[in-house]
Amino acid sequence: MKAVILSGGFGTRLRPLTINTPKSMVPVLNIPFLEHVINHLKTHGVSEFSLAVSYLAQPIKNYFGDGSRFGISLTYTVEDSPMGTAGAVKNAGNSLNKRILVLNGDIFTDLDITDMIAAHKKNKAKATIALTPVEDPTSYGLVLTDNNLRVLRFLEKPNPDEITTNMINAGTYILEPEVMALVPPQTNYSFERELFPLLLKNGEPVYAYPSSSYWMDIGKPENYFQLHYDLLNGKSNQFRYNNGKRIVAGKRCNIHPTAKITGQVIIGNNCMIGEGARINGPSVIGTDCHISTDAVIDDSIIWASVYVEPQARIKHSIIADNCHIGSASNVEESVLGDKAIVTYGRNVKAGSLVSPGTIVY
């Protein structure tokens, strides 16, 4: 079955990280998020993919190409401006004469796709929607079912007084071609707000596939952090931290013997960790980073080519590509867009969102 992955949103809630980097390319454990999604689907035998891209499409195309490097076949459909979730899939035209698998491109999950397909067939469903439990459904799509898991109601972004279940749309669908035929061509159209409610109104057999498998939407910085914590702590079966080994460092790293690395830490290729530097996990350091003498990195995610000068301190922060953190500066609970510069001795105060290229004096 072909998978269509929705990768064209603006990633608004992950700004400033997503101003120059599409949400799909945001690194997770030093590889683009979407690569994890593709790897998971490959384990369920999916080999044919279409990416519905729009905003910042080029970096995605440059990295994934025709998919051959990843052992898959990959095509792209590009929307000039986003056409909505269902509009984007409709736009992926050629896939619409067969059953398709549709995925939100910002979800990390261990969902058993093989079993979901079996359930879809058994139920003779026109559409099957994977469900996952969450604590607060207000930022998701609420899905109500009967005892046989037939969907009764789909309510996108419910108000607190409308919440009667903790099961939400997990962003993976199996759809029959007749369903996609209902989507008007070349129109902005949403699965969540338009197509699913329409199918239910028409009495079509729409089924739910609830799952307690690991699941995380990386749409917000807290969730992006949480995904790293969870992966480093073995909550997903897609990643095992190096069997109790103290650190996991990439190739050609130069780690000074006096550097102190504690907790779960992943270090990319070509990194330099200087004398007396401290890295406390859970933390991830991207490729080509330079962490200078006596710098401290605590509970943070550092992307590639970041230069941290001596005695700088970074705590619970996300630092995007090519940032420069000046000596004796202090960055706490903040998110720095790419190429941001923090000058000598400055304090980036907690809660800051620093735009790409900004110089913090």
- For residue 106, state whether it binds ligand GDD (rule: CB under 6 A): yes
CB of 142 to ligand GDD, least distance (A): 8
Q: Which of 42, 44, 75, 79 binds ligand GDD (CB under 6 A)?
A: 79
> With CB under 6 A as the contact rule, which of the stretches 4-12, 220-228, 257-265, 335-343 interacts with ligand GDD?
4-12
151 binds, among Mg ion, ligand GDD, none (CB under 5 to 8 A by kind): none
Catalytic residue selected from 2, 61, 124, 157:
157
> For residues 106 and 294, which CB has a smaller minimum distance to Mg ion in the complex?
106
Instruction: Decide if 157 is catalytic.
Output: yes
Judged by CB under 6 A, the chain residues 266 through 305 that form the site for ligand GDD are none
54 binds, among ligand GDD, Mg ion, none (CB under 5 to 8 A by kind): ligand GDD
Judged by CB under 5 A, the chain residues 178 through 217 that form the site for Mg ion are 217
- CA 324 from chain centre, in angstroms, equals 25
DSSP 8-state class, residue 281:
S
- For residue 219, state whether it binds ligand GDD (rule: CB under 6 A): yes
Indicate the Cα dihedral angle 57, 237, 335, 308, nearest 10°.
Answer: -100
Nearest C-alpha neighbor of 223 from the set 50, 47, 28? 28
CA–CA separation, 322 and 134 (whole Å): 35
Q: Which of 84, 105, 137, 219 binds Mg ion (CB under 5 A)?
A: 219
- Is 16:43 a contact under the CB 8 Å cutoff? no
32 binds, among Mg ion, ligand GDD, none (CB under 5 to 8 A by kind): none
Q: Which helix (H) or strand (E) holds 28?
A: strand 27-28
Q: Which of 2, 3, 4, 6 binds ligand GDD (CB under 6 A)?
A: 6
- Is 143:129 a contact under the CB 8 Å cutoff? yes
> With CB under 6 A as the contact rule, which of the stretches 98-106, 302-310, 312-320, 344-352 interacts with ligand GDD?
98-106
CA–CA separation, 337 and 321 (whole Å): 8
> For residues 119 and 143, which CB has a smaller minimum distance to ligand GDD in the complex?
143
Indicate the Cα dihedral angle 225, 9, 63, 307, nearest 10°.
Answer: -40
CB of 260 to ligand GDD, least distance (A): 38
The reply to whether omega before 16 is within 30° of 0 (cis) is yes
CA–CA separation, 280 and 300 (whole Å): 8
The identity of residue 31, as a single letter, is I
Nearest C-alpha neighbor of 106 from the set 43, 169, 194? 169
> For residues 145 and 169, which CB has a smaller minimum distance to ligand GDD in the complex?
169
8 binds, among Mg ion, ligand GDD, none (CB under 5 to 8 A by kind): ligand GDD
> For residues 87 and 268, which CB has a smaller minimum distance to ligand GDD in the complex?
87
The identity of residue 210, as a single letter, is P
CA–CA separation, 106 and 10 (whole Å): 11
The identity of residue 5, as a single letter, is I
CA–CA separation, 89 and 192 (whole Å): 13
- For residue 83, state whether it binds ligand GDD (rule: CB under 6 A): yes
DSSP 8-state class, residue 54:
B
Q: How many residues bind Mg ion (CB under 5 A)?
A: 3
CB of 94 to ligand GDD, least distance (A): 16
The reply to whether omega before 282 is within 30° of 0 (cis) is yes
Q: Which of 106, 230, 309, 338 binds Mg ion (CB under 5 A)?
A: 106
> With CB under 6 A as the contact rule, which of the stretches 62-70, 81-89, 257-265, 301-309 interacts with ligand GDD?
81-89
Helix 57-64 with 33-43: angle, nearest 10 deg: 50
Binding mask 132-161 for ligand GDD (x = CB under 6 A): --------xx--------------x-----
Summarize as ranges the residues that interact with ligand GDD (CB under 6 A): 6-9, 23, 52, 54, 79, 82-85, 88, 104-107, 140-141, 156, 168-169, 171, 192, 217, 219
Q: Active-site positions?
A: 157
